[in-house]
Chains A and B, each alone.
Chain A
């Protein structure tokens, strides 16, 4: 007999036990491990998808911020350029104004210097003229310049026009018949007496004169009372001469030029 029924029964039981044991120790653990791995992979994939989405959002945010930053940068650049241009214009105007002020000041300074030099030159000319005149008078006429000046001053007083005379007389009246005689040189008693007599005669009054010496003038004599002045000085002569020359130059410049050119 090839079939032993006890063995068949025993093998059936053995097989069923083996089914149970393998279910417990083989299939279930293996399937659980596979399921766990699949869940892990699914969760990692979901996590990766979420991270990818976050990365995409971050990339979009970054691009948007970058675009905004570029726009802001361009706007700031435009503002800075405009502000720099405005500042440049302002500084240019400021510099231009400062340059104009400086030029004006320089011009004034030059004019002042010219005036000062002119004054110095004028005084030098006066001094030289007076020196030459004094020597000439002394050598040729044996006469002192100061005496001649006093004589001329006295003569001028005698020839004073009525209008000027009455005007000065009013000033004398205001000054209670006192006047000041200023001269560049010290007047001698005879000269003071001549002037006193000439003044009294000119204004028909007993004028109280006070004589002072001033180094403001090179030569000449001034009579002043309450702002009124009668002067016979070299400055007034030179001023008149300068004015006369200027008038001649202004009116007939070509003639003078021709005369200069023809002069050998």
Chain B
């Protein structure tokens, strides 16, 4: 039994390879993009609209409201990045019920990639809002002595993001796989339902933490103050 879908390799040339993580990510991306396009190509601006449009509007407006609640009063610049984080992780969590499919977030490489994206996006958004000097100055708050601790905090929280998501997703998949092999059918189903719930919760936690980091970076307070 593989611990990570990275170990399932479909094609390799040197260091370049196509493993299950990448392939399943493409499949998930295809489903998300094509599904979105099919729904949004016939949007209605009237009071009469389809159920799918209602679903997407609820998701998008809820994400927008959540970002605003975190403290980003203008959520539009962050909606694309943060919303995609949530949708991708949540959709990956929902795919755990599919047979012969490994969620890409069960790979530490994927969660690390997402965490790195957050790690890079936070200073970019911070610099956009406060400028380079303003953003760098925030690392010396409240005193210059706090600079190393702020840097350590920045790195550690990125690592924590990646490990937390990976651990939860991987453990859920592993538990289901183990239970299917040693117990009757009912108990794995219950655990699968629990896994779906924890997956959605993890997606929400990942999304909220990323939003909080960006909110901290775009405000005048120190980014290390929120961890």
Contact = CB atoms under 8 A, between A and B. Distances in A.
Interface in A16-33: 16-23, 25-27, 29-33
Contacts of A4: 6, 19, 109
A21 B84 CA distance: 10
Interface residues of B, number: 47
A258 to B, nearest CB: 121
B128 interface: no
Interface in B33-87: 33, 36-37, 40-41, 43-47, 53, 56-57, 60-61, 76, 79-81, 83-84, 87
Contacts of B21: 7, 11
SS class, residues of chain B in contact with chain A? helix
A9 B113 CA distance: 7
SS class, residues of chain A in contact with chain B? helix
Interface stretch (A34-42, A61-69, A198-206, A220-228): A34-42
B117 A29 contact: no
A40 B17 contact: no
Contacts of A18: 29, 32-33, 84, 88
A5 to B, nearest CB: 8
Nearest to A26: B36
A2 B3 contact: yes
Interface string A152-187: 000000000000000000000000000000000000
Interface of B: 3-4, 6, 15-17, 19, 21-22, 25-26, 29, 32-33, 36-37, 40-41, 43-47, 53, 56-57, 60-61, 76, 79-81, 83-84, 87-88, 104, 107-110, 112-114, 116-117, 166
16 contacts: A4-B109, A9-B113, A14-B29, A18-B29, A19-B80, A20-B80, A21-B33, A25-B36, A25-B40, A27-B60, A27-B79, A31-B60, A31-B76, A33-B53, A33-B57, A34-B57
